[in-house]
Chain A
Amino acid sequence: MIEQNSLFSYETDTIGNESSLSVRLGRIKLDNPVIACSGTFAYGVEYSQFYNTAILGAVTTKSYSLKPIKGNPPPRICETASGMLNSIGLQNDGIDMFIKKHLRKAEKLGIKIILSIFGQDLEEFRKVASRAADVKERIIAVELNLSCPNVKKGGMAFSAMPDEVEKIVSSTVSILNIPVIAKLSPNYQNLVEAAMAAKKGGAEALSVINTVVGMAVDIETFRPRLGNVLGGLSGPAVKPIALAKVYSLTREKILPVIGMGGIFSWQDALEFLLVGASAVGVGTANFIQYDVGKKIIEGLRNYLKEKKIYNINELIGRLRT
């Protein structure tokens, strides 16, 4: 049986014979559990050349900071076995540009936006959150990218420091008054503590995982293959890591989880749902299969129909151990 408490409840809004794909993460309601990951989908407009991106449960934007950021020196991309490393360096044109220009374009297409933000320190997070608060009726949630470096604390990710996580979450929650999602890094041992801290701070849900730190070396030149030396690994190569990290959180029932890392097909998505993710994020796959979001939604719908499951929530957390 599926547990029914306030955090993990779902509504049985099955219409006719069509299975319901809608999910809830706290106050966040999605038509289906498929979300485009931050940094892999811009804000949904480019990919609308390939399909109607408004059908996605939501699109998470590139992470925005207060001021534009130029990003890291190239090369920024390196393919690895069934994966890729990136060292984009959080290049973005600043939250104001998103609010003034990009948001309107996404709205016109009916795209449901989760706005991803970050800062170098608590102060910047607060400032970006205040700007985001100006458009809070036009977005469904704000995601805090807590995998970015905490410049004041020696550059380690905020995610590594539960105290910082709690502070940032609670102050942005109080500024925003809309659901806040904490996106955590897989690169530190204390993921569960960081997740608890996010909950204490008032987060609505967790996004897990961000990229796994990695590198590659060119043996001809003896140089690192990325301009920034280190980068983040994503794609099919990280899926087992991602599943294990998601599982470590869903087992503790801390907060609803958006599971991501290497999802390329509806079968991958289903694995994450079975380990207890309430929704899934699709990232790198968008670079290869431009309409993968649509394909995953269709695949899940067909699976439910075939199995005569009327509500996708019946599958969430059904892992048998």
Chain B
Amino acid sequence: MELLSGEILSNEKYSDNLYRMEIFSPYICKNATAGQFINVKCSPESVLDPLLRRPFGIFDIEEKFNVFSILYRVKGRGTKFLSELKRGDILDFAGPMGNEIDLNGNENNILLIGGGIGIAPLYLIAKLAGGMKKNVFFAAGFKDNSYLRWEKDLIELKINHAVLTEDGSWGEKGLVSDYVWNNIRSFKNFDIYCCGPRDMLKTLQNIYKDRNNKVTALLDERMACGVGVCSGCVVKLRKGKRGFSYKKVCKDGPAFNLGEVIFD
């Protein structure tokens, strides 16, 4: 993990609130892998408001070109600042942070379940697992068709997928968790990675409660340091029969066994 600065090669608008930023960084391309994230300073140099760095999952790595990207949704002031950066600007970031997801010990079948911007870190898993000749299926759910442009990226990877939207404007109408439930038999021997809103994760936790699949969730939580020193980003995990412990998303995660997560 290092403090880095990298030239922005593109900051492409995918839709109203969705952007893909490509950053030149041999260091990240060499050292980062699936599941990891970067921590970005979202204010001009030596300006301290907004103050904290913002975490973003690594969306794609193109090692050949020493370029990696993040896919981000404009939410508040920090991401607004990012959306205004231009090709040639320098991004101040640190990484790679968090633990890598080891895809080696897996079933040959991988199901990725993404809700909204949760698809971002799953995309790199899809790419790497696809490269390992695993059978990957991507189920993605959105409110509307604002992520349409992303499907092109997925098609480039030749990954089988299903898209669901709440308003039916793209793909099937419905929720991705319902889709998973309706097709539960077809995904029997799949290892599962999911990322998305709490409600989606809770539903998936229920669906997979008494099944044998290995289900891994990528979680987000408010962060201050991103390096494991402040204990700010904790999530509650089951410990023993009735107990719990707090684990840090930045240092112990962001991937956790979904069955162990306690959603209060």
Residues of A within 8 A of B (CB): 39-42, 46-47, 49-50, 70-71, 73-79, 81-84, 86, 88, 91, 235-236, 264, 284, 286-291
Contact = CB atoms under 8 A, between A and B. Distances in A.
Given A49-B1, A75-B222, A91 B231 contact: yes
Contact of A70 (B1, B3, B48, B245): B245
Contact of B230 (A50, A82, A88, A264): A88
Given A49-B2, A86-B232, A88-B230, A81 B49 contact: yes
B2 A74 contact: no
Contact of A76 (B2, B232, B264): B232
B264 A50 contact: no
A82 B94 CA distance: 20
A281 to B, nearest CB: 15
A287 B53 CA distance: 8
Interface of B: 1-3, 41, 48-53, 94, 221-236, 245-246, 264
A288 B3 contact: no
Contacts of A91: 231, 234, 246
A65 to B, nearest CB: 14
A41 B225 CA distance: 9
Contacts, number: 92
Given A40-B229, A42-B228, A84-B224, A71 B52 contact: no
Chain B contact residues: helix, strand, loop or mixed: loop
A39 B230 contact: yes
16 contacts: A49-B1, A50-B2, A71-B231, A71-B234, A73-B264, A74-B221, A74-B233, A76-B231, A76-B234, A77-B222, A79-B52, A81-B49, A88-B232, A91-B246, A286-B225, A287-B230
B34 to A, nearest CB: 21
Given A41-B229, A88-B230, A286-B229, A70 B246 contact: yes
A288 B48 contact: yes
Contacts of B223: 77
Contacts of B52: 77, 79, 84, 287-288
A132 B126 CA distance: 50
7 A-B pairs with the lowest CB-CB distances in the bound complex, closest first? A77-B232, A42-B229, A77-B222, A287-B225, A82-B49, A287-B224, A91-B231
B224 A77 contact: yes
A284 B229 CA distance: 11
A82 B229 contact: no
Given A71-B234, A75-B221, A290-B94, A47 B2 contact: no
Contacts of B94: 290
Given A49-B2, A71-B234, A77-B52, 11 more contacts: A70-B245, A70-B246, A76-B233, A82-B48, A82-B49, A83-B51, A84-B51, A91-B246, A236-B48, A284-B224, A287-B230
Contact of B51 (A47, A76, A79, A290): A79
B1 to A, nearest CB: 6
Contacts of A41: 229
Q: Residue among A77, A91, A289 with the most chain B CB within 10 A?
A: A77
Contact of B48 (A39, A42, A88, A264): A264
Nearest to A92: B231
Contact of A50 (B3, B49, B50): B3
Contacts of A73: 236, 264
A288 B50 CA distance: 11
A217 B51 CA distance: 18
B46 to A, nearest CB: 8
B51 A46 contact: no
B232 A46 contact: no
B83 to A, nearest CB: 18
A92 B223 CA distance: 18
